[in-house]
Structure 1
Amino acid sequence: MELYDSEEQQVEAIKNWWQENGKAVIIGAVVGLGGLFGWRYYQDSMIEAREVASQNYAVVVAELQSSGVIAADQAQAFIDSNDVKEYSVLAAMQLAKVQVEAQDYQAALEQLNWAKNNTQDVAMAPLLTYRIARIEAQLGNYAAATAALDSITDTSWAGRVAELRGDIALEQGELDAAYAAYSEAQQAADASQLLQMKLDDLAK
Protein backbone atom coordinates (compact mmCIF):
# COMPACT_ATOMS: atom_id res chain seq x y z
CA MET A 1 0.00 0.00 0.00
CA GLU A 2 1.23 3.48 -0.85
CA LEU A 3 2.18 5.88 1.92
CA TYR A 4 0.47 9.25 1.83
CA ASP A 5 1.97 12.54 2.99
CA SER A 6 -1.27 14.14 4.03
CA GLU A 7 -4.92 13.41 4.80
CA GLU A 8 -5.90 15.22 1.58
CA GLN A 9 -3.95 12.69 -0.48
CA GLN A 10 -5.61 9.83 1.40
CA VAL A 11 -9.08 11.31 0.75
CA GLU A 12 -8.25 11.80 -2.92
CA ALA A 13 -6.99 8.22 -3.18
CA ILE A 14 -10.20 6.93 -1.60
CA LYS A 15 -12.30 8.92 -4.08
CA ASN A 16 -10.29 7.53 -6.98
CA TRP A 17 -10.60 3.97 -5.66
CA TRP A 18 -14.37 4.37 -5.22
CA GLN A 19 -14.75 5.69 -8.76
CA GLU A 20 -12.92 2.66 -10.09
CA ASN A 21 -14.44 0.03 -7.80
CA GLY A 22 -17.65 1.48 -6.38
CA LYS A 23 -19.97 -0.15 -8.90
CA ALA A 24 -18.44 -3.58 -8.30
CA VAL A 25 -18.79 -3.12 -4.54
CA ILE A 26 -22.47 -2.19 -4.86
CA ILE A 27 -23.17 -5.10 -7.19
CA GLY A 28 -21.34 -7.47 -4.85
CA ALA A 29 -23.34 -6.20 -1.88
CA VAL A 30 -26.63 -6.61 -3.74
CA VAL A 31 -25.71 -10.13 -4.87
CA GLY A 32 -24.51 -11.01 -1.37
CA LEU A 33 -27.70 -9.77 0.28
CA GLY A 34 -29.80 -11.47 -2.37
CA GLY A 35 -27.98 -14.72 -1.71
CA LEU A 36 -28.46 -14.32 2.04
CA PHE A 37 -32.19 -13.69 1.74
CA GLY A 38 -32.48 -16.48 -0.81
CA TRP A 39 -30.75 -18.91 1.54
CA ARG A 40 -33.02 -17.88 4.40
CA TYR A 41 -36.06 -18.35 2.19
CA TYR A 42 -34.78 -21.80 1.20
CA GLN A 43 -34.23 -22.77 4.83
CA ASP A 44 -37.70 -21.54 5.81
CA SER A 45 -39.21 -23.49 2.91
CA MET A 46 -37.38 -26.64 3.97
CA ILE A 47 -38.56 -26.27 7.57
CA GLU A 48 -42.12 -25.77 6.40
CA ALA A 49 -41.91 -28.79 4.10
CA ARG A 50 -40.62 -30.97 6.94
CA GLU A 51 -43.42 -29.80 9.24
CA VAL A 52 -46.05 -30.60 6.61
CA ALA A 53 -44.45 -33.98 5.92
CA SER A 54 -44.38 -34.75 9.64
CA GLN A 55 -48.07 -33.93 10.02
CA ASN A 56 -49.05 -35.98 6.96
CA TYR A 57 -46.88 -38.87 8.11
CA ALA A 58 -48.66 -38.89 11.49
CA VAL A 59 -52.01 -39.10 9.68
CA VAL A 60 -50.79 -42.00 7.52
CA VAL A 61 -49.44 -43.93 10.52
CA ALA A 62 -52.71 -43.43 12.41
CA GLU A 63 -54.65 -44.75 9.41
CA LEU A 64 -52.39 -47.78 9.07
CA GLN A 65 -52.73 -48.55 12.76
CA SER A 66 -56.50 -48.31 12.70
CA SER A 67 -57.26 -49.74 9.26
CA GLY A 68 -54.26 -51.94 8.40
CA VAL A 69 -53.75 -52.75 4.73
CA ILE A 70 -57.03 -51.03 3.87
CA ALA A 71 -55.04 -47.80 4.21
CA ALA A 72 -52.27 -49.08 1.92
CA ASP A 73 -53.28 -46.85 -1.02
CA GLN A 74 -53.27 -43.76 1.18
CA ALA A 75 -49.85 -44.67 2.56
CA GLN A 76 -48.48 -45.36 -0.91
CA ALA A 77 -49.76 -42.01 -2.17
CA PHE A 78 -47.89 -40.28 0.65
CA ILE A 79 -44.71 -42.25 -0.07
CA ASP A 80 -44.84 -41.40 -3.77
CA SER A 81 -45.69 -37.71 -3.46
CA ASN A 82 -43.81 -36.62 -0.35
CA ASP A 83 -40.69 -34.54 -1.02
CA VAL A 84 -39.06 -35.26 2.35
CA LYS A 85 -37.58 -38.70 1.72
CA GLU A 86 -36.99 -39.55 5.39
CA TYR A 87 -40.72 -39.54 6.05
CA SER A 88 -41.40 -41.56 2.92
CA VAL A 89 -38.93 -44.18 4.14
CA LEU A 90 -40.59 -44.31 7.56
CA ALA A 91 -44.01 -44.60 5.96
CA ALA A 92 -42.79 -47.47 3.76
CA MET A 93 -41.57 -49.26 6.87
CA GLN A 94 -44.93 -48.79 8.58
CA LEU A 95 -46.75 -50.01 5.48
CA ALA A 96 -44.48 -53.07 5.30
CA LYS A 97 -45.33 -53.84 8.93
CA VAL A 98 -49.07 -54.01 8.31
CA GLN A 99 -48.49 -55.97 5.09
CA VAL A 100 -46.51 -58.56 7.07
CA GLU A 101 -49.34 -58.73 9.60
CA ALA A 102 -51.69 -59.37 6.67
CA GLN A 103 -49.23 -62.02 5.39
CA ASP A 104 -48.66 -60.09 2.17
CA TYR A 105 -44.94 -60.76 2.38
CA GLN A 106 -44.04 -59.93 -1.21
CA ALA A 107 -45.59 -56.47 -0.96
CA ALA A 108 -43.80 -55.89 2.35
CA LEU A 109 -40.51 -56.96 0.78
CA GLU A 110 -40.96 -54.43 -2.01
CA GLN A 111 -41.58 -51.64 0.51
CA LEU A 112 -38.50 -52.52 2.56
CA ASN A 113 -36.27 -52.76 -0.49
CA TRP A 114 -37.51 -49.36 -1.64
CA ALA A 115 -36.86 -47.90 1.81
CA LYS A 116 -33.35 -49.36 1.90
CA ASN A 117 -32.53 -47.89 -1.51
CA ASN A 118 -33.85 -44.45 -0.57
CA THR A 119 -32.75 -43.87 3.00
CA GLN A 120 -29.85 -41.52 3.70
CA ASP A 121 -29.59 -42.71 7.30
CA VAL A 122 -26.71 -45.21 7.58
CA ALA A 123 -28.04 -46.37 10.95
CA MET A 124 -31.28 -47.43 9.26
CA ALA A 125 -29.60 -49.78 6.79
CA PRO A 126 -28.97 -52.73 9.17
CA LEU A 127 -32.57 -52.62 10.43
CA LEU A 128 -34.00 -52.61 6.93
CA THR A 129 -31.63 -55.33 5.75
CA TYR A 130 -32.48 -57.50 8.75
CA ARG A 131 -36.20 -57.14 8.10
CA ILE A 132 -35.64 -57.97 4.43
CA ALA A 133 -33.75 -61.11 5.47
CA ARG A 134 -36.59 -62.18 7.77
CA ILE A 135 -39.16 -61.84 5.00
CA GLU A 136 -36.96 -63.64 2.49
CA ALA A 137 -36.66 -66.47 5.01
CA GLN A 138 -40.42 -66.44 5.53
CA LEU A 139 -40.85 -66.82 1.77
CA GLY A 140 -38.39 -69.71 1.74
CA ASN A 141 -35.75 -67.71 -0.12
CA TYR A 142 -32.99 -68.88 2.19
CA ALA A 143 -30.09 -67.97 -0.10
CA ALA A 144 -31.40 -64.41 -0.44
CA ALA A 145 -31.98 -64.19 3.30
CA THR A 146 -28.45 -65.38 4.03
CA ALA A 147 -26.98 -62.96 1.50
CA ALA A 148 -28.84 -60.09 3.18
CA LEU A 149 -27.50 -61.14 6.60
CA ASP A 150 -23.97 -61.35 5.18
CA SER A 151 -24.18 -57.67 4.27
CA ILE A 152 -24.87 -56.56 7.86
CA THR A 153 -21.48 -55.61 9.32
CA ASP A 154 -22.70 -53.57 12.28
CA THR A 155 -21.56 -55.55 15.36
CA SER A 156 -24.48 -54.29 17.43
CA TRP A 157 -26.64 -56.60 15.29
CA ALA A 158 -24.43 -59.67 15.74
CA GLY A 159 -26.80 -61.53 18.05
CA ARG A 160 -29.92 -61.00 15.97
CA VAL A 161 -28.09 -61.87 12.77
CA ALA A 162 -26.69 -65.10 14.24
CA GLU A 163 -30.08 -66.07 15.68
CA LEU A 164 -31.78 -65.60 12.32
CA ARG A 165 -29.04 -67.68 10.71
CA GLY A 166 -29.93 -70.38 13.22
CA ASP A 167 -33.62 -70.11 12.38
CA ILE A 168 -32.82 -70.45 8.68
CA ALA A 169 -30.60 -73.47 9.30
CA LEU A 170 -33.32 -75.06 11.44
CA GLU A 171 -35.91 -74.54 8.69
CA GLN A 172 -33.59 -76.36 6.32
CA GLY A 173 -33.09 -79.25 8.75
CA GLU A 174 -29.45 -78.35 9.46
CA LEU A 175 -29.58 -78.93 13.21
CA ASP A 176 -25.86 -78.71 13.94
CA ALA A 177 -25.55 -75.43 12.04
CA ALA A 178 -28.61 -74.08 13.88
CA TYR A 179 -27.15 -75.03 17.27
CA ALA A 180 -23.84 -73.38 16.41
CA ALA A 181 -25.57 -70.20 15.25
CA TYR A 182 -27.73 -70.02 18.37
CA SER A 183 -24.68 -70.57 20.57
CA GLU A 184 -22.88 -67.75 18.75
CA ALA A 185 -25.89 -65.48 19.13
CA GLN A 186 -26.03 -66.17 22.86
CA GLN A 187 -22.58 -64.62 23.29
CA ALA A 188 -23.57 -61.33 21.67
CA ALA A 189 -24.59 -58.18 23.51
CA ASP A 190 -27.96 -58.14 21.76
CA ALA A 191 -28.80 -61.79 22.52
CA SER A 192 -32.52 -62.49 22.86
CA GLN A 193 -34.12 -64.29 25.80
CA LEU A 194 -35.50 -66.98 23.48
CA LEU A 195 -32.09 -68.36 22.58
CA GLN A 196 -31.77 -70.67 25.57
CA MET A 197 -35.18 -72.17 24.78
CA LYS A 198 -34.12 -72.75 21.17
CA LEU A 199 -30.88 -74.38 22.31
CA ASP A 200 -32.72 -76.57 24.81
CA ASP A 201 -35.15 -77.73 22.10
CA LEU A 202 -32.23 -78.72 19.87
CA ALA A 203 -30.48 -80.55 22.69
CA LYS A 204 -33.48 -82.85 23.30
Structure 2
Amino acid sequence: MAYDLEEQEQIDSLKDTWKKYGNLVTWLVIVCLGGYAAWTYWNTYQGNQSLQASQLYEEMQKSVTSKDNAKVQRAAEDLKEKFPRAAYAPMAALVAAKSAFDAGDLKVAKTQLQWVADTAKVDEYKAIAKIRLAGIALDEKAYDEGLKQLSGSFPAELEADVLDAKGDIYVAQNNIAEARTAYKAALDKMSEKNPGRQSLQTKLDAVGGAAETKVVSK
Protein backbone atom coordinates (compact mmCIF):
# COMPACT_ATOMS: atom_id res chain seq x y z
CA MET A 1 0.00 0.00 0.00
CA ALA A 2 1.40 3.40 -0.97
CA TYR A 3 1.46 6.21 1.57
CA ASP A 4 1.74 9.94 0.93
CA LEU A 5 4.71 11.87 2.29
CA GLU A 6 2.96 12.97 5.51
CA GLU A 7 1.72 9.47 6.31
CA GLN A 8 5.20 8.03 5.64
CA GLU A 9 6.76 10.56 7.99
CA GLN A 10 4.26 9.57 10.72
CA ILE A 11 5.05 5.89 10.21
CA ASP A 12 8.80 6.55 10.34
CA SER A 13 8.30 8.60 13.50
CA LEU A 14 6.33 5.78 15.09
CA LYS A 15 9.07 3.29 14.20
CA ASP A 16 11.72 5.53 15.77
CA THR A 17 9.60 5.89 18.91
CA TRP A 18 9.15 2.14 19.17
CA LYS A 19 12.90 1.59 18.76
CA LYS A 20 13.57 3.98 21.65
CA TYR A 21 10.70 3.08 23.96
CA GLY A 22 9.36 -0.21 22.64
CA ASN A 23 10.85 -2.30 25.42
CA LEU A 24 9.55 0.15 28.03
CA VAL A 25 6.04 0.03 26.56
CA THR A 26 6.20 -3.75 26.44
CA TRP A 27 7.22 -3.92 30.08
CA LEU A 28 4.45 -1.54 31.05
CA VAL A 29 1.95 -3.75 29.25
CA ILE A 30 3.37 -6.82 30.95
CA VAL A 31 3.23 -5.10 34.34
CA CYS A 32 -0.38 -4.05 33.73
CA LEU A 33 -1.35 -7.53 32.59
CA GLY A 34 0.56 -9.01 35.51
CA GLY A 35 -1.28 -6.72 37.89
CA TYR A 36 -4.59 -7.71 36.37
CA ALA A 37 -3.66 -11.39 36.60
CA ALA A 38 -2.66 -10.95 40.24
CA TRP A 39 -5.94 -9.14 40.97
CA THR A 40 -7.90 -11.90 39.21
CA TYR A 41 -5.98 -14.57 41.09
CA TRP A 42 -6.55 -12.79 44.41
CA ASN A 43 -10.29 -12.59 43.82
CA THR A 44 -10.37 -16.23 42.77
CA TYR A 45 -8.26 -17.10 45.81
CA GLN A 46 -10.58 -15.13 48.04
CA GLY A 47 -13.57 -16.91 46.52
CA ASN A 48 -11.95 -20.29 47.14
CA GLN A 49 -10.99 -19.25 50.65
CA SER A 50 -14.54 -18.17 51.37
CA LEU A 51 -15.91 -21.44 50.00
CA GLN A 52 -13.55 -23.53 52.10
CA ALA A 53 -14.27 -21.42 55.17
CA SER A 54 -18.03 -21.76 54.67
CA GLN A 55 -17.72 -25.53 54.38
CA LEU A 56 -15.72 -25.72 57.59
CA TYR A 57 -18.23 -23.43 59.29
CA GLU A 58 -21.09 -25.70 58.22
CA GLU A 59 -19.26 -28.69 59.67
CA MET A 60 -18.79 -26.78 62.90
CA GLN A 61 -22.54 -26.07 63.04
CA LYS A 62 -23.16 -29.83 62.93
CA SER A 63 -20.92 -30.20 65.98
CA VAL A 64 -22.90 -27.44 67.69
CA THR A 65 -26.13 -29.33 67.01
CA SER A 66 -24.67 -32.51 68.45
CA LYS A 67 -23.29 -30.50 71.41
CA ASP A 68 -19.75 -31.72 70.78
CA ASN A 69 -17.89 -28.78 72.27
CA ALA A 70 -14.45 -30.27 71.62
CA LYS A 71 -15.11 -30.48 67.87
CA VAL A 72 -16.64 -27.01 67.88
CA GLN A 73 -13.48 -25.57 69.43
CA ARG A 74 -11.21 -27.41 66.98
CA ALA A 75 -13.21 -26.18 64.01
CA ALA A 76 -13.16 -22.62 65.32
CA GLU A 77 -9.40 -22.73 65.79
CA ASP A 78 -8.97 -24.10 62.25
CA LEU A 79 -11.05 -21.26 60.86
CA LYS A 80 -9.14 -18.64 62.84
CA GLU A 81 -5.78 -20.08 61.80
CA LYS A 82 -6.45 -20.84 58.14
CA PHE A 83 -8.96 -18.12 57.26
CA PRO A 84 -8.36 -15.24 59.68
CA ARG A 85 -9.54 -12.66 57.13
CA ALA A 86 -12.75 -14.46 56.25
CA ALA A 87 -15.98 -13.29 57.90
CA TYR A 88 -16.51 -16.86 59.06
CA ALA A 89 -13.58 -16.62 61.51
CA PRO A 90 -15.16 -14.19 64.00
CA MET A 91 -18.54 -15.84 63.47
CA ALA A 92 -17.00 -19.19 64.37
CA ALA A 93 -15.29 -17.71 67.42
CA LEU A 94 -18.59 -16.29 68.68
CA VAL A 95 -20.32 -19.64 68.19
CA ALA A 96 -17.41 -21.43 69.87
CA ALA A 97 -17.65 -19.03 72.82
CA LYS A 98 -21.34 -19.87 73.26
CA SER A 99 -20.55 -23.59 73.03
CA ALA A 100 -17.81 -23.29 75.64
CA PHE A 101 -20.06 -21.22 77.90
CA ASP A 102 -22.82 -23.83 77.69
CA ALA A 103 -20.24 -26.50 78.51
CA GLY A 104 -19.19 -24.55 81.59
CA ASP A 105 -15.76 -23.64 80.24
CA LEU A 106 -15.68 -19.90 80.91
CA LYS A 107 -11.94 -19.63 80.29
CA VAL A 108 -12.26 -20.83 76.69
CA ALA A 109 -15.40 -18.78 76.19
CA LYS A 110 -13.58 -15.62 77.24
CA THR A 111 -10.58 -16.46 75.06
CA GLN A 112 -12.78 -16.84 71.99
CA LEU A 113 -14.67 -13.64 72.71
CA GLN A 114 -11.50 -11.66 73.39
CA TRP A 115 -10.08 -12.80 70.04
CA VAL A 116 -13.13 -11.37 68.30
CA ALA A 117 -12.99 -8.15 70.31
CA ASP A 118 -9.30 -7.70 69.45
CA THR A 119 -9.16 -8.82 65.81
CA ALA A 120 -12.58 -8.66 64.13
CA LYS A 121 -12.82 -6.21 61.22
CA VAL A 122 -16.57 -5.76 61.64
CA ASP A 123 -17.58 -3.42 64.46
CA GLU A 124 -20.79 -5.34 65.15
CA TYR A 125 -18.83 -8.55 65.83
CA LYS A 126 -16.47 -6.69 68.17
CA ALA A 127 -19.43 -5.15 69.98
CA ILE A 128 -21.23 -8.47 70.44
CA ALA A 129 -18.04 -10.01 71.81
CA LYS A 130 -17.62 -7.19 74.34
CA ILE A 131 -21.26 -7.41 75.44
CA ARG A 132 -20.89 -11.15 76.00
CA LEU A 133 -17.60 -10.64 77.86
CA ALA A 134 -19.42 -8.20 80.12
CA GLY A 135 -22.07 -10.84 80.73
CA ILE A 136 -19.46 -13.36 81.81
CA ALA A 137 -17.85 -10.72 84.03
CA LEU A 138 -21.25 -10.20 85.65
CA ASP A 139 -21.53 -13.95 86.35
CA GLU A 140 -18.05 -13.89 87.88
CA LYS A 141 -18.92 -10.75 89.90
CA ALA A 142 -16.08 -8.90 88.15
CA TYR A 143 -18.23 -5.80 87.85
CA ASP A 144 -15.50 -3.29 87.07
CA GLU A 145 -14.22 -5.52 84.29
CA GLY A 146 -17.74 -5.80 82.91
CA LEU A 147 -18.21 -2.04 82.82
CA LYS A 148 -14.78 -1.68 81.20
CA GLN A 149 -15.90 -3.95 78.37
CA LEU A 150 -18.96 -1.77 77.89
CA SER A 151 -17.07 1.51 77.75
CA GLY A 152 -16.29 3.38 74.54
CA SER A 153 -18.34 3.69 71.37
CA PHE A 154 -20.55 1.00 69.88
CA PRO A 155 -22.59 0.64 66.67
CA ALA A 156 -25.91 2.49 67.01
CA GLU A 157 -27.97 -0.67 66.58
CA LEU A 158 -26.30 -2.25 69.62
CA GLU A 159 -26.32 0.73 71.98
CA ALA A 160 -29.54 -0.45 73.64
CA ASP A 161 -27.96 -3.84 74.37
CA VAL A 162 -24.89 -2.16 75.85
CA LEU A 163 -27.04 -0.01 78.14
CA ASP A 164 -29.13 -3.02 79.10
CA ALA A 165 -25.96 -4.91 80.06
CA LYS A 166 -24.73 -1.91 82.05
CA GLY A 167 -28.04 -1.83 83.91
CA ASP A 168 -27.63 -5.48 84.90
CA ILE A 169 -24.19 -4.78 86.34
CA TYR A 170 -25.45 -1.73 88.24
CA VAL A 171 -28.24 -3.84 89.76
CA ALA A 172 -25.67 -6.43 90.86
CA GLN A 173 -23.69 -3.59 92.49
CA ASN A 174 -26.90 -2.41 94.17
CA ASN A 175 -26.51 0.87 92.30
CA ILE A 176 -30.21 1.20 91.59
CA ALA A 177 -30.20 4.82 90.45
CA GLU A 178 -27.60 4.11 87.74
CA ALA A 179 -29.43 0.92 86.77
CA ARG A 180 -32.68 2.82 86.34
CA THR A 181 -30.96 5.44 84.17
CA ALA A 182 -29.32 2.77 82.01
CA TYR A 183 -32.53 0.79 81.53
CA LYS A 184 -34.50 3.92 80.62
CA ALA A 185 -31.87 4.96 78.09
CA ALA A 186 -31.82 1.43 76.65
CA LEU A 187 -35.59 1.42 76.29
CA ASP A 188 -35.49 4.78 74.51
CA LYS A 189 -32.98 3.47 72.00
CA MET A 190 -34.61 0.08 71.46
CA SER A 191 -36.90 -0.42 68.49
CA GLU A 192 -40.59 -0.92 69.22
CA LYS A 193 -40.41 -4.22 67.35
CA ASN A 194 -37.43 -5.52 69.33
CA PRO A 195 -38.49 -8.71 71.19
CA GLY A 196 -36.26 -7.68 74.09
CA ARG A 197 -38.40 -4.67 75.00
CA GLN A 198 -40.72 -6.62 77.30
CA SER A 199 -37.83 -8.07 79.28
CA LEU A 200 -36.19 -4.66 79.49
CA GLN A 201 -39.42 -3.04 80.65
CA THR A 202 -39.74 -5.68 83.36
CA LYS A 203 -36.24 -4.84 84.59
CA LEU A 204 -37.04 -1.14 84.58
CA ASP A 205 -40.24 -1.73 86.53
CA ALA A 206 -38.31 -3.81 89.05
CA VAL A 207 -35.99 -0.90 89.86
CA GLY A 208 -38.86 1.54 90.19
CA GLY A 209 -38.57 3.15 86.81
CA ALA A 210 -41.89 2.36 85.14
CA ALA A 211 -42.23 4.19 81.85
CA GLU A 212 -44.08 7.46 82.16
CA THR A 213 -47.51 7.59 80.61
CA LYS A 214 -47.54 9.89 77.61
CA VAL A 215 -50.28 12.50 77.65
CA VAL A 216 -51.57 13.30 74.23
CA SER A 217 -52.94 16.84 73.99
CA LYS A 218 -56.19 17.26 72.18
TM-score when normalising by structure 1: 0.85
Please say which of residues 73-82 and 98-107 is displaced more in the overlay.
73-82
* Cα distance between partner residues in 1 of 2:14 and 2:205: 90
Give the residue type in structure 1 aligned to 2:29.
A
**Is 1:200 the counterpart of 2:205 in the alignment?**
yes
The superposition leaves residues 68-106 of structure 1 with CA deviations (integer Å, 9 ceiling, x where unpaired) of: 423244224413432243222111111101111122222
Please say which of residues 110-119 and 66-75 is displaced more in the overlay.
66-75
C-alpha spacing 1:9/1:152, structure 2 compared with 1 (3 Å): closer
Give the residue type in structure 2 aligned to 1:11.
I
* Cα distance between partner residues in 1 of 2:42 and 2:165: 45
TM-superposed CA distance for 1:63, in Å, is 1.0
TM-superposed CA distance for 1:166, in Å, is 1.9
Mark the runs of 5 or more structure 2 residues left unpaired by the alignment.
Answer: 209-218
Q: Secondary structure at the match of 1:151?
A: coil
**Is 1:78 the counterpart of 2:112 in the alignment?**
no
* RMSD of Structure 2 on Structure 1 (CA): 2.3
TM-superposed CA distance for 1:25, in Å, is 2.1
Percent identity between the two aligned chains: 25
**In proportion to residue count, which structure has more helix?**
1
Give the residue type in structure 2 aligned to 1:126.
A
Query: Between Structure 1 and Structure 2, how many residues are aligned?
Result: 200
| Deviating 4+ runs (over 4 angstroms) | none
- The answer to whether the 8 A contact 2:124-2:155 is kept is no
Please say which of residues 39-48 and 111-120 is displaced more in the overlay.
39-48
* Cα distance between partner residues in 1 of 2:159 and 2:39: 44
Q: Secondary structure at the match of 1:120?
A: coil
**Is 1:47 the counterpart of 2:56 in the alignment?**
no
TM-score when normalising by structure 2: 0.80
Q: Secondary structure at the match of 1:144?
A: helix
- The answer to whether the 8 A contact 1:69-1:102 is kept is yes
The superposition leaves residues 125-155 of structure 1 with CA deviations (integer Å, 9 ceiling, x where unpaired) of: 2222111111111111100111111224433
C-alpha spacing 1:62/1:173, structure 2 compared with 1 (3 Å): same
* Cα distance between partner residues in 1 of 2:30 and 2:160: 59
